[in-house]
């Protein structure tokens, strides 16, 4: 049985991961499709920018978000004037998580697009289908299994994000404290190892369930498309 505090931690973790996935997935699909095209101006630059969060330390990513979106940041002042406050909020935690899972989503979705038969798109173009028609009716459905699997894996990864979240959104119980941050917090307390192991087991179980779900969904979708 979960204690009320653990239930709150799980609820926060799911809320942050879900918002991060919803915010990052559409952009990841667009960038992945562009990178999957053989001839695309600025492809190397876009590829580098999309995968930059993988190279940079997560704490640095959170710090850069603070410089950009903090109250005295380049955009933070304008956002604050509009009533939008991101640092040290659950929305900020979701944004930091979205940035960190974005490269993973782009990579898996790009592989899905590249695995599709490009001759189908060429044939549709010859028959008069426009770019949006080809994308929505051919490319997107064929890449569906990879997109779905990437989304589930991205959600599981979002549940475990730590560095960028604690730097940009802090570790506020009931607001921004997700599972990894809760594990870190209890480890700072005397005798908190047992509670940390319990939280770590929850995190490990959720991660494994996410990976299994991604594989099952991918196989099911492939069989459905093949049928």
Q: Please check the confidence at residue 12 and state whether its pLDDT lies above 90.
A: yes
Residue ranges of domains in the chain, CATH in brackets:
4-226 (1.10.3720.10)
Q: CA nearest 172: which of 100, 88, 65?
A: 88
Those residues with Cβ within 8 angstroms of residue 53's Cβ, 6 or more apart along the chain or in another chain? 61, 99, 100, 102, 103, 164
Q: Please check the confidence at residue 224 and state whether its pLDDT lies above 70.
A: no
Per-residue pLDDT tens over the stretch 158-192? 998 999 999 999 999 989 999 999 999 998 888 88
Distance CA 200, CA 178 (A): 12
Looking at residue 11, its pLDDT comes to: 92
Looking at residue 97, its pLDDT comes to: 96
- To the nearest 10 degrees (0 to 180), the angle between helices 4-36 and 144-158 is 140
């Amino acid at each position: 049985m979960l204690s009320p505090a653990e239930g709150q931690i799980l609820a926060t973790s799911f809320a942050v991961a879900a918002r991060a996935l919803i915010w990052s997935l559409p952009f990841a699909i667009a960038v992945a499709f562009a990178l999957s095209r053989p001839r695309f101006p600025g492809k190397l630059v876009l590829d580098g920018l999309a995968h930059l969060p993988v190279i940079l330390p997560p704490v640095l990513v959170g710090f850069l978000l603070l410089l950009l979106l903090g109250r005295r940041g380049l955009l933070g002042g304008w956002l604050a004037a509009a009533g939008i406050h991101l640092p040290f909020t659950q929305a900020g935690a979701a944004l930091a998580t979205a940035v960190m899972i974005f490269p993973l989503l782009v990579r898996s979705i790009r592989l899905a697009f590249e695995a599709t038969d490009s001759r189908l798109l060429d044939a549709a173009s010859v028959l008069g289908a426009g770019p949006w028609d080809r994308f929505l009716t051919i490319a997107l459905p064929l890449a569906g299994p990879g997109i779905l699997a990437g989304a589930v894996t991205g959600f599981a990864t979002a549940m475990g994000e730590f560095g960028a979240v604690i730097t940009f959104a802090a570790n506020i119980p009931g607001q921004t404290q997700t599972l990894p941050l809760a594990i870190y917090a209890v480890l700072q307390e005397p005798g908190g190892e047992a509670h940390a192991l319990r939280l770590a087991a929850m995190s490990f179980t959720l991660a494994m369930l996410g990976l299994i779900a991604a594989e099952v969904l991918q196989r099911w979708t492939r069989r459905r498309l093949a049928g």
